[in-house]
Amino acid sequence: MYKINEVFETIQGEASFTGTPSIFLRLQGCPVGCAWCDTKQTWEVDNLYKVSLDETVEKKADSDHWGEGSAEQILALFKARGYNAKHVVITGGEPCMYDLNPICALLHQHGYSTQIETSGTFEILVPEQTWVTVSPKINMRGGYKVLSSAMQRANEIKHPIAMQKHVEELEALFVTTGVSPKLVYLQPISQKVSATKLAIDTCIEKNWRLSIQVHKYLGIN
């Protein structure tokens, strides 16, 4: 059973799948503790806020209410809502607190592609065809280390930055894990002008790519 904060259909606004119609499955629970997290409502799993699975669909505002559902119930929910998108993004929270093999395998059987977005601090349990986006959370207050196995499994690295030290931390992580992925995105935190300039300059210098959170510029989820 998966604990679900939110389900909605939108356009993916980040990294390789930017512009792709997507169903977002946002799972509840995350102990990593990122200071700039924009989904802090997903951190705690409090039974006082448990609701029906249907109440997690298309929320009007962020909340820490969550519902529970099996892979089969989640698929049925997608179909009941009449979603057209065939790309499913499993995010959180920290989705890799869960074994994602059952939900991803079932979705693949029904013609969906899957993508997960993870901090890289938990073992990644997904099928081979699932696209893995690791946004490595380095030196966060939760004290979790980014796993070498997560870096090795990543199809892309998406790293939020605001200052030079964030770039340096990423480079140091490549050294300590022994993994230098070919596909690296830098994402300016909060669309700040200085962070955006730093990301652009660094991407040009290192032949990395820029991710600018298109959905926030468009004013959509």
Total structural domains within the chain: 1
Answer whether 4's CB lies under 8 Å from 68's CB: yes
Residue-level pLDDT at 66: 96
- CATH number of 61's domain: 3.20.20.70
Q: What is the distance between the alpha carbons of residues 159 and 111, in angstroms, rounded to a whole number? A: 30
Answer whether residue 208 is part of any domain: no
Q: Has residue 53 been placed in a domain?
A: yes
Instruction: Flag whether pLDDT at 93 surpasses 70.
Output: yes
Output the six-digit token pair for 39. Answer: 């989904």
pLDDT at 131: 98
- Per-residue pLDDT tens over the stretch 4-56: 999 999 999 999 999 999 999 999 999 998 887 889 999 999 999 999 999 99
**CA–CA dist 154, 134 (Å, integer):** 6
Which position has the token pair 């057209």?
A: 84
pLDDT of res. 215:
67
96 in a structural domain: yes
Instruction: Say yes or no to pLDDT of 217 above 90.
Output: no
Residue where the block lists tokens 């280390």: 145
Res 38: pLDDT? 83
Which residue matches tokens 């989705």?
95
* Farthest-apart Cα atoms in the chain, separation: 49
Instruction: Express each pLDDT in 159-183 by its tens digit.
Output: 999 999 999 999 999 999 999 888 9
- Would you say residue 92 lies in a domain? yes
Q: How far apart are CA 112 and CA 87, in angstroms?
A: 6
3-state DSSP assignment of residue 97: helix
Q: 79 lies in which domain range? A: 2-158
**Residue 74 forms part of a structural domain:** yes
